[in-house]
Structure 1
Amino acid sequence: MRNFRVATIWGIPIKINISLLVFLPVLAWLIGSGTQIETYAGVVGALAGTELDLSVLRAGSTPWLIGTLAAVGLFASVTLHELGHAWAAMRYDLEVESITLWILGGLASFKQLPREWNRELAIAVAGPITSILTGVGCYAALLVLPDSAPVLLFVVGWLAVTNIILAVFNMLPAFPMDGGRVLRALLARSRPYASATRIAARVGTYFAILFAVFGVISFSPLLLLLALFIYGAASGESRTVALADLLEGLTVGDIARPTRLTVDADATVEELVDLMFAERATEFTVTQGGEVVGVVTVADFRELSTAQREADTVADLMLTDLPRLDAAMSAFDALVELDTNRATAALVESAEGTHVVSREDFSSAMEMRRLAQADGPF
């Protein structure tokens, strides 16, 4: 979904997802209506050492004002929470690509997460610590606000309580939430990073199921959405770490294949079919004037009729918008590049010339590494 850049802090783009823009009015209504004001008025009054007049808080459009201020304040608090993660990461010279606010809170995107358990631990706890400090700051402000400003008292007091709840909730070991990352960091002290990730992801999956059950029982769409997010993110990160582990130490040049089987771009598809039968191969590199220009596979012409195969050339079918990668690029980064470009193959430039690498090559390399369990390329 679309994101809108609204600010830049410490060189980090702060973005708002469109889901948040849709959800903010709903959140404002939820806070300003129902039992929210009634429930929190007593708590805030106790914290402030005064009694809030419910009739004033419910009068006219005041509930909407309270809901709007509280909703905006909540996501400002979430931004501070994510900036806490970002500050800790930047202390380790890690690049923070962006912070995105969306319907379920905030996401700080890092170019690369550290594998050192102590660094991940520090980055993970920095967010909840920031939320606690924000809550304490709101409580301090609550003590100095005049009793003649009941709306402001309520909103600041509500934010004080909510930030503490936010910190506690985020420390649940539901990977990839902060508590789940803390769990992985602690597990990684005594076991391989991939193994620690698998265990933390499994715990996160259990929490996702728990959230889904409570979401159904309480008719809470947000809990169900959170359950789906945790389940998907935990599974996805577990797979990503497993892939990175299998490809560790490999460059894309180690995996790429020399362009041994080539076909000219001007050849007809029928000629290509004959060549595939002769060579017992289903994929060819396409050349034009001696230069590699693309890749063609059996899937590209499978649906063509006999007449089309005789009339069309390889140039009409080949994949040409392939990423061009340097042979020294790490294999994992190259695989990410393929995913980013939604490409099935890439051209790899090296001192020996242009080679080709496909998703099947990555799969074969990872299977060989898994079976051999070797530190070298294969």
Structure 2
Amino acid sequence: MNISSAFYDFRNRNVQISRWRLSIDPLLPLVLLLLAWALSSRYYPEMLYLSAAWKYWMLGGLTAVFITVSILIHELGHSSVARALNIPIERIHLYLFGGMAELQHRPHAARQEFWIALAGPMASLGVALFSWVMYALVLDPTFMAWYFFRFLALINLLIALFNLLPIFPLDGGRLLRSVIWAVNGNYLRASWLTKRAGSFIAGLLLLLALADYTWLQSDYVIFSGILALYMMYTWYSGRYELNYMPSAGDLIRPAPEAETTQALVEQLMPPREQLLKRCIFPVLEHGEPYERLIIEGKVLNSAADDISQLPAKPAVTGDFIDLDEPNSWSSSVVYNAEWIPVYHSGRVVGMCDAKELRFWLQQNENAIHLWLPRTGKGIT
């Protein structure tokens, strides 16, 4: 990594390392401090004897930091496979009790979702295996590092197993949906079945926890209760994504009253100029729709470029969507950029997320009426 490729954006709490953008929850340092305190005052004193309190704090603090590093490695596993499958990463976000790799667009094939979902647990298992080798084969209990690697092996194994639970949006839930999707060929049906399976498993965990509390009364009753409640919450929060069915307005970024291409670019793109290379812009100065001219965003260096000096070319199928021409937004159309102009009643009304549009049309041809002009949210 070049030093120049890393910086910290204090306003947005983002760390940029080469091509990776990392955002951190502002309360995460507080959680790390509490975790370091618990490890240094409760866990490690029961495991080994050290001659000074600062040594416990050093060991506890290092362990707390590496738990976060383990979560980051888990998310980098997802991100690396996504990039290998040509799905760009928007950012990796670390929050209080986990992390999330945000993709720029959803996987559009079952195999993509399967490998991206599996990569995180596999990365965690890799860290667990390395840690096990260190404490089981390399070190012995006379070293402080032996206790550190033993704990790290256990926590990464738990991270992997927890994420493999088949409840969406955990990795196991995404793996389940990808398998169902591959079998029946339909994303929407697979999402519905995944939601039903997740509700059954979360309910079963809750019943087992109640049985443990009522009859078994094991030493793990508190843990099983917390796990069951958290799984119910996980399923409840994930059901919104599984139910998601976009309308036209969800995939179209409106451009009200944009009179020039320059104004359209400046209105839609800042502060995310990285979107420029993934766009095709209409030339608004040449009397559309009768003469549709376009400018490819890859020739723009920033939203402030003088577009009048850049080369324009006639639009072809795949360069635009006209809501009055269904053939321009058929699922058989291959779009030439991720974001393309949308026309309605002879004028440009916004920019469309073309990859998402094509995906949803392929998955549900029966819902094609959602794209008729009269139903488009924000389209007038």
The residue aligned with 1:28 is 36
Partners of 1:112 and 1:233 in 2: CA distance: 20
Tell me the TM-score normalized by structure 1. Answer: 0.57
Bigger relative contact order (CA 8 A; separation at least 6): 1
- Deviations along 1:172-218, one digit per CA (max 9) or x if unpaired, are 10111011101001111222211111221233344555677859962
Which residue of 1, 19, 24 corresponds with 2:27? Answer: 19
The residue aligned with 2:239 is 235
Secondary structure of the 1:172 match is: coil
Larger CA Rg, structure 1 vs 2: 1
List 4+ stretches of structure 1 deviating above 6 A. Answer: 210-213, 219-222
Which residue of 122, 129, 133 corresponds with 2:126? Answer: 133
Contact 1:174 1:207 in 2 (8 A): yes
Deviation at 1:225, TM superposition (A): 8.1
Secondary structure of the 1:97 match is: strand
- Deviations along 1:40-91, one digit per CA (max 9) or x if unpaired, are x4xxxxxxxxxxxx2228x523333222111111110111111011111111
The residue aligned with 1:180 is 173
After superposition, the Cα gap between the structure-2 partners of 1:210 and 1:219, relative to the gap in structure 1 and judged at 3 Å, is same
Which residue of 117, 123, 128 corresponds with 2:116? Answer: 123
Residues 168-317 of structure 1 correspond to what in structure 2 (within 5 A)?
Answer: 168-191=161-184, 192-208=186-202, 218=222, 223=227, 226-227=230-231, 230-240=234-244, 243-244=245-246
- Deviations along 1:308-335, one digit per CA (max 9) or x if unpaired, are xxxxxxxxxxxxxxxxxx97399xxxxx
Structure 1: where are the runs of 5+ without partners?
42-53, 257-325, 331-346, 358-365
Amino acid at match of 1:169: F
Tell me the TM-score normalized by structure 2. Answer: 0.57
Q: Check if 1:328 corresponds to 2:332.
A: no
After superposition, the Cα gap between the structure-2 partners of 1:375 and 1:186, relative to the gap in structure 1 and judged at 3 Å, is farther
The residue aligned with 2:159 is 166
Contact 1:205 1:230 in 2 (8 A): no
Q: Check if 1:8 corresponds to 2:17.
A: yes
Identity of aligned residues (%): 28
After superposition, the Cα gap between the structure-2 partners of 1:37 and 1:113, relative to the gap in structure 1 and judged at 3 Å, is farther
Contact 1:115 1:193 in 2 (8 A): no
Amino acid at match of 1:71: A
Contact 1:204 1:234 in 2 (8 A): no
Deviation at 1:113, TM superposition (A): 1.7
The residue aligned with 1:277 is none
Which residue of 95, 100, 109 corresponds with 2:93? Answer: 100
Amino acid at match of 2:23: K
Residues 295-374 of structure 1 correspond to what in structure 2 (within 5 A)?
Answer: 328=321, 352-353=346-347, 373=367
The two structures, once aligned, show a CA RMSD in angstroms of 4.2
Structure 2: where are the runs of 5+ without partners?
1-10, 214-220, 256-318, 324-340, 352-359, 373-380
